[in-house]
Every structure is written in C-alpha cells, then in structure tokens.
Amino acid sequence: MTTMDTVKLEIDGPTATIYFNRPDKKNAMNPQMHRDMHVALDAIEEAGGVKAVVLTGNGNSFSAGMDLEECFLRPFDDPQLFYRTNLVALKWFQRLKAFPAVTIAKVNGFAFGGGFEVTGLCDLAVASETALFGLSEINFGIFPAGGASWAATHNLPRKQALYYILTGDTLTGKQAEEYGLVNKAVPLEQLDAETDRIVGKIINKNPVTLELAKQVYERTTTMDLPTAIDYDQAKLWELSRLSGNEWINVALKQFEKRSYQPGLSTYKRAEKES
C-alpha cells in the first residue's frame, strides 16, 4: 500500500484501488491531489500486472471536483501559476482516459465537476443510487471545462448533456444509470459487491486483450468502416503476437474440447499467465 497526502492507493494483485482522500473537503481535488494522482498512476504502471483500477472516494463523497479555492481562486492572478497548477490536473485526466488497465469509477457520493468528469473518463462506472452528480460550473459562472464538457457529451444524450451543463441541476445515481453515465446504480450497501463483481469478470481476462480492446473501441469510434476494419485487423495480429497466440492455442483449443461455451463464460487461463 502506498500512502500519499491526498490519495490512498491499494494494489492487490491484478486490482488497484485509488481513494480520493480529503473527506473533510468532500474529496475536492486540490493541487496536491493532482500531483498525487500522477504518483498513484505511476505506481500502478510500475507494479505491472494490474488489470482493473477502481477509483472511489473516502467518506461520503466521490469527489466535489476541482478545489475551487486552491486551483482557481488563489492562483488566478498569476497566470503562469494558474496554468501550471491546472495543467497537472489536465494531464492526469488524459492519462486516465488512455490508461492501459480497465478503469472503473465507484461513485459513492457527491460527484461534481471534476468528479463527474472522472466518472465519464473511466471505462466503466458503478454508483450508489443516491450518489449526486452535477456539472455545477454554470452555478459559479463558467462552463464545464478541462474535459468536463467532453465527459458530458460522450456519456449523456445531447438533450440531457445540455440540460445539466446549462442548469447546473444535480442528477442521482439512478438517473445516471438511466442516461448511461454509469453502468449500474445500486443501493449504497451493495456498491462494493457490485464493483467486485465487475472487477472479478475483468481480472480473469488476458491483460493484452483488455488493453487492445480499449484501443480498438476508442480509435474506431472516429473511423469509417473500411479504416476501422484495417485498423482492427492489424491490432488482431498485434494481439496474437503479444499474447503468444493465446486465443488460438489456449482459448479455441479449449473450445474444440467443448470445455466451455464462449457465449456464456470465458476460457481458463494458465496459472502462470497474468
């Protein structure tokens, strides 16, 4: 376990959990937290073998977003300081979106601004039914920035995205599930179990396949079909080479013996494989 000032990191084999850890400040992300997030992501990459990264908050909040005083109000009069301070945040947001392991937001409470954004940047998300999301930027006079508008447009239908951007109203975990911002909303007491259930499905997969599946999904969304097919075929050969042809030599050999039905379950990976 690595302890930083504002972030707690636990790595347990193929699963890492990052806790935003300023519960007294509703886990608002101050400059120290942005620096700590880079340290946490570095540590996960250096550990190797992590397939699922869960992000959650200590206490009753996921994150109340950017620390409005430390990130915006105080450095504002020094443009260079303002720029450098917030660049640290903008960089880890982008790192998170492109992270090689599968990222899962476990939204346990308030998720405003940057907290909403982090949920949208993760690959998957689970929320408590009573979690409260909001793009509150309009309520303090700006629009969602630093990727927060992007997260809204890529996770909500247009009318809902614009509604929450323009009104600053909150939405619950239940509504977030309805609009597709989270995969599932559950009663708070089931949040750990539901997250563990998803993590359990991820960690018995081949990590190379997980990483390339994410790349193919992300890159092909902006391609036309012929380009997407060219790209995914090249990636399939890359996957084959990087994984020692595991899909043929292990997965489909097991299918040949009818030891599992791929429509209903996954093949058995060898113990030594990560």
- Give the binding site for ligand COA (CB under 6 A): 25-26, 28, 64-69, 110, 112-114, 136-137
Q: Of the two residues 24 and 271, which places its CB atom closer to ligand COA in the complex? A: 24
Q: In whole angstroms, how close is the CB of 226 to ligand COA at the nearest point?
A: 41
Q: In whole angstroms, how close is the CB of 180 to ligand COA at the nearest point?
A: 22
CA 33, CA 106: separation in Å to the nearest integer? Answer: 18
Q: Of the two residues 69 and 78, which places its CB atom closer to ligand COA in the complex? A: 69
Q: Of the two residues 125 and 250, which places its CB atom closer to ligand COA in the complex? A: 125
Residue nearest to ligand COA (CB): 113
CA 27, CA 221: separation in Å to the nearest integer? Answer: 33
Q: In whole angstroms, how close is the CB of 131 to ligand COA at the nearest point?
A: 12
CA 127, CA 185: separation in Å to the nearest integer? Answer: 5
Q: Is 145 exposed, middle or buried (0-12, 13-18, 19+ CB in 10 A)?
A: middle
Sign of the dihedral defined by the CA atoms of residues 20, 86, 138, 123, in that order: negative
Q: Of the two residues 14 and 57, which places its CB atom closer to ligand COA in the complex? A: 57
CA 160, CA 184: separation in Å to the nearest integer? Answer: 18
Q: In whole angstroms, how close is the CB of 130 to ligand COA at the nearest point?
A: 13
Task: Quote the tokens at residue 89.
Answer: 């945040």
